[in-house]
Amino acid sequence: MAKPLPVSPLARPLPDLATIAGVRLSAVAAGIRYQGRTDLMLAEFVPGTVAAGVYTKNACPGAPVLWCRTALTPPYARALLVNAGNANVFTGRAGIQACADCADATARLLDCPPQDVFLASTGVIGEKLPQDRIIGALPAAKAGLDENGWADAARAIMTTDTFPKAARRDVTIAGTPVRIQGIAKGSGMVAPDMATMLAYVATDAKLPQNILQSLLASGCSQSFNAITVDSDTSTSDMLMLFATGLADNPEIDDINDPALAEFTLALNDLLLELALMVVRDGEGATKLVRIGVTGAESNLSAHRIALCIANSPLVKTAIAGEDANWGRVVMAVGKSGEPADRDRLSVAIGGTWIAREGGVVENYDEAPVVAHMKGQEIEIVVDLGLGDGEARVWTCDLTHGYIDINGSYRS
């Protein structure tokens, strides 16, 4: 961008970040696209670290996504290298070669196999990745590795983000203290179909890869897969979870083991916190919107209806204008293609029911709804009256700021 973007009014400050045993990070300026800021993040993991990941279902994925899918086959990680400013997407064989070159160079520095190096790129699509700049910056990145490098790493992977995103949880597994900590980036091209943009979480817990993967996929469904900014699924989306095992908790071989319950809840909560930060930083956003759907024929149907409401430009612009135009919500339900009955439909905004069973509530008082619409956090609830299916998703409003950012993204 030509000038720094103003920080989102919905921004959250970085929490008190700690260290994860077996993880060191650094951030350096490689000059990939941006000037005067860091744009390359390197994370080093202790040997034996287990990795899990979920990746975009976009049919035109970036070369780093293809690399990571293959690298995950032997489920170990020694390094993670992420650049901002260039997505390495739609770059053909050159993009694949760039990944191989970067992985090889990182592997030589850290004395590990290239397949133990995970890669990610975010930024402009269709431009060749300047891997020579990345490789040239690797010695400085290695020299700067520090167990306290989390905040710098979070800033280095930003593109149109206006604030760095991180979260932390401290819990136990069978009485053994363990820690979970993660960073994320994302603010536009966000309508995940696996995860969103880039998000990386690490823990010192000792867990087998199959359980780690199941935990990540399950947590993603209720967090990163329940948010949308603009209905666009990125070519670069990925969410990864790394477990160093240095906490040395008792062995866990069953995802339903009661000893894992506290960890599972904490991981799910951390993933949701990171996901909501992405929505809070939605390009041009001024309001965080929670949409709940109940009474659908199934949970899947409820989820689809909720996303249809969340992705509607008419709903989102009404929220931006602080207009409680519930008719647009009804429209979005009807166009979703999911089972719905006009005469059973109910709509509430900010806890006030506006419509019940297909009609406006008698003596409906709009005053509390108007007041609610002026706040920064908006809640919309729809009950279909058809069954027990329910879902919740989050989005943001759609303002002229979104056009300003995306209309000049490459300039």
Question: How big is the chain, counted in residues?
Answer: 411
User: What is the phi/psi pair of residue 346, to 5°?
Assistant: -130, 145
- Catalytic residue of the set 196, 294, 352, 399: 196
Is 289 strand, coil or helix?
Answer: strand
Handedness of CA 137, 142, 145, 150 (dihedral sign): positive
Is 196 a catalytic site residue? yes
DSSP state of 360: E
Please report the DSSP string for 39-86 in residue order: -EEEEEE-TT-EEEEEE---SS--HHHHHHHHHTSS-B-SEEEEEEEE
361-to-177, 325, 327, 364, 373 alpha-carbon distances in Å: 52, 15, 13, 5, 19
DSSP bridge pairs for 336:
none
Between CA 375 and CA 380, with CA 376 as vertex, the angle to 5 degrees is: 80
Contact 320, 357 (CB under 8 A): no
Q: What is the rounded CA–CA span in Å between residue 81 and residue 84? A: 10
The whole-angstrom distance between residue 195's C-alpha and the CA centroid of its chain comes to 6
Q: Is 185 annotated as a binding residue?
A: yes
Contact 342, 358 (CB under 8 A): yes
Q: Is 390 annotated as a binding residue?
A: no
- C-beta neighbour count of 259 within 10 angstroms: 16
Q: Is 406 annotated as a binding residue?
A: yes
Is 28 strand, coil or helix?
Answer: strand
Task: Give me the helices (H) in 111-236, please.
Answer: 131-143, 150-156, 209-221
Please report the DSSP string for 4-26 in residue order: PPPPPTT----------TTEEEE
**Nearest C-alpha neighbor of 305 from the set 278, 330, 280:** 330
What's the one-letter identity of residue 12? Answer: R
Contact 130, 116 (CB under 8 A): no
Q: Is 283 annotated as a binding residue?
A: yes
Pairing of strands 288-296, 23-28: unpaired
Between CA 47 and CA 30, with CA 194 as vertex, the angle to 5 degrees is: 55
Contact 150, 17 (CB under 8 A): yes
Residues annotated within the binding site are 159, 185, 196, 283, 406, 411
Question: Could you give the residue numbers annotated as active site?
Answer: 196
Residues annotated within the binding site for substrate are 159, 185, 196, 283, 406, 411
